[in-house]
Amino acid sequence: MKITIFPIVITLSLLFFPCIAQGQYGIFTEAECPIKISEELATGGKFSFGYMTVPEFHKNPEGKPIELAVAVFKCRAETVKYEPLVLNSGGPGMSNLEDFVPTFDGPLGNLFLYDRDIVIIELRGLKHSRPNLHTPELDELQVELLGKHLSSDELISAYKEVILSIRKKFNDQGINLAAYNYWETASDIAFVIEKLGYKKFAAFGNSAGTIVAQYMLMDHADKLTALSLNAVVNVPAGFNKMCKTSIDKLESIFIEIEQNQSYASAYPDLKKRFLSTLEALNESPDTITVQLPGADEPSDVVLNGNRVTGWIFTQMYWNTQLPLTMHMIANRDYSQIIENPGSFLPLQNFSNGSFWSMVMNSWDDPSEEDLLKGTEYEIFVEGMSTMVFSQPFVMKIRDAWQVEYQSNNIKPMATYVPTLMLNGGDDHVCLPDYTQKLSDTFENSYCYIFPGIAHSPIDAGECAIMMMKQFLDNPKAAPDGSCVEGFKKKQKYILP
C-alpha cells in the first residue's frame, strides 16, 4: 500500500535556525504564503504573509530564535472600528494557517473583516513555522501498519522506535522541546501582536486553542479586549481525564438505552455486546477494504478492537447516533467505517511533536484511576493508548520523547476580560459542566451550552458564528442566544 501523506515541501528551509542578530526579534519579513489564496485576496492589497522571529524563551531574549509564520487580513473598510482578532485552532498541533486562511478568504471573511483586522499566527512547532515539530516518519509508519494486526504493546513499541529517531534528529538540530509549551506560546502571541503595531486584541480559541486563551489570561490579560472560546478545555486537568470523560459519555449512553423500553428492545445488551466485540477483534481481527483518502487504489485494513476504539473515539466528536454505530459494529457490520475511513490516516496539518511537547510540558501523567484500571472499560482505554494524540499514548512515549513535566506552570487567570464560552452539550472531552463553572467565576462572561451538539457549536451552523460576531462587536453585552433554543429539542436515537 503506497500512499503519499505529506507534501514533499518539507525541506531544510523548515528545519534550519535563522541567523538573527541580537536584538532583532520581532521583525516581520514578508514571504510568499504557502496556503493557496484567491487572486482577489492576493492582488487586493488587504493581505500580507511573512515570518516573525521570537525568542525561544521570552525570559531569555538572547537565546535561540524561532520563526513564526504570520498571516494578516486587513480590514476592508477605510476605517478600522475594532481591535484585531487572533485565531487559534485545536489539537494542540493543528495548523492555524491551514485551518483559517482558506476560511477567511471565503464567506466568513465578508462577515468578520469589514471592520477589523484578523491575524493568524502559526504557533511554535506547527507545520509552517520554523522549526516545525512534524513527524512524517511516524505518519508513514502509521499507514504501513494498517494492514497488520499488532497488539497495543507491539504497536506502541514500533512507534517508539521511530519516535526515538525523530527525537535524536531534533536534538541534533538543537531544538529544545522544553520551549514548546503553552506559556511561551501565549507570550509569542502577545509579542507578535505588539510588534505588528497593535496595542490590544481580541482572541478566538477552538478546543485546545482555548488552552492558549486561558494561558493568555494568566500572563497577558492586559492586552485582551475580549475572548471567544469554543469547546472549552479544563486547563488544570488538561487531557489526563480524556479516557474517563469519554467512558463517562459512553456509559451515559448505555444507561439511557437500558432505561428506555424502545431503545432497550432495539439495542439489547448493547454495552456488553460492543465491549465483547472489541475483545474478540483483538483476538481475531477482521479485514476490511476501504478507499483511503489520497490513495489511488483500495486498501486492506486489519480491523482489530484497538482500531475500532480509535475510530469510535474520533466519531464521538460529531456522531450523535453512537448507539446505532456501536450496534452495527457489534453485528460485524462495518459499513460506517468503510464509508468513513479517514481517521485511520494521520492528519496532514497536524504536528504530533507539538501535541506531545505541549502535553508533556504542561501536565503530569494520568493516574491509574484516570485510566480506569481494573474496570470493564479497560479494553477501550487500551485502544485509546494506540492513538498518537491521546494522553495514555503520550504517557507511554514520555521516555522516548524526553520531555519532563514542568510543574507550577498554571497560574490564576484574570477574570475581568469579557468572554463568550460556547460548548456542545454532548462533548466527551470538553465538558459543558466545566465550561459553565468556569464562566461563573468570570465577572463578564456569557456561557451557552448547545444540546445535541458533540464537540463544536461553531461547526454546527450560523447560530454560534453570529453569536460570536455580535459578541466581538460589543463584548460588554450578551449576544442574542435565542437561536440556541433550536438545539434544545431532544434528539432521538435512530433505531436499526
**Strands across the sheet containing 85-88:** 28-30, 47-55, 65-73, 118-121, 85-88, 201-206, 224-230, 419-424, 445-450
Q: Which amino acid is at 43?
A: T
pLDDT 10s digits, 304-335: 999 999 999 999 999 999 999 999 999 999 99
pLDDT 10s digits, 372-419: 999 999 999 999 999 999 999 999 999 999 999 999 999 999 999 999
At residue 68, the pLDDT reads: 98
Check if the beta carbon of residue 122 is closer than 8 Å to that of residue 95.
yes
CA 242/CA 359 separation, integer angstroms: 12
Q: Over range 86-98, report the average pLDDT.
A: 96
State the greatest distance between any 2 C-alpha atoms of the chain, in Å, as a whole number: 72
What is the torsional sign of CA 161, 165, 166, 167?
Answer: positive
CA 418/CA 225 separation, integer angstroms: 7
- Chain centroid to Cα 422, Å, comes to 16
pLDDT 10s digits, 336-366: 999 999 999 998 899 999 999 999 999 999 9
Check if the beta carbon of residue 394 is closer than 8 Å to that of residue 419.
no
User: Quick check: helix, strand or coil at residue 362?
Assistant: helix
At residue 447, the pLDDT reads: 98
User: Quick check: helix, strand or coil at residue 121?
Assistant: strand
At residue 488, the pLDDT reads: 81
Q: In the predicted model, is pLDDT for residue 34 greater than 70?
A: yes
CA 448/CA 434 separation, integer angstroms: 12
At residue 23, the pLDDT reads: 53
CA 51/CA 129 separation, integer angstroms: 8
Q: In the predicted model, is pLDDT for residue 5 greater than 50?
A: no
Lookup: cell for 190: 502577545
Which H or E run includes 275?
helix 270-283
Q: In the predicted model, is pLDDT for residue 37 greater than 80?
A: yes
Lookup: cell for 483: 437561536
CA 45/CA 5 separation, integer angstroms: 34
At residue 125, the pLDDT reads: 98
Delineate the domains of the chain, giving CATH numbers in brackets.
12-133+175-230 (3.40.50.1820), 242-401 (no CATH), 419-487 (no CATH)
Lookup: cell for 243: 479516557
pLDDT 10s digits, 236-245: 988 889 999 9
Highest mean pLDDT among 1-5, 192-196, 366-370: 192-196
Q: How confident is the model at residue 490 (pLDDT cuts 50, 70, 90)?
A: low
Q: How confident is the model at residue 440 (pLDDT cuts 50, 70, 90)?
A: very high
Q: What is the mean pLDDT of the chain?
A: 93
Lookup: cell for 16: 534550519
At residue 176, the pLDDT reads: 97
pLDDT 10s digits, 51-67: 999 999 999 877 789 99
pLDDT 10s digits, 201-243: 999 999 999 999 999 999 999 999 999 999 999 999 888 899 9
At residue 10, the pLDDT reads: 35
In this structure, the number of other CB atoms found within 10 A of the CB of residue 355 comes to 25
DSSP for 158-215, please give it: HHHHHHHHHHHHHHHTT--GGG-SHHHHHHHHHHHHHHTT-S-EEEEEETTHHHHHHH
At residue 13, the pLDDT reads: 38
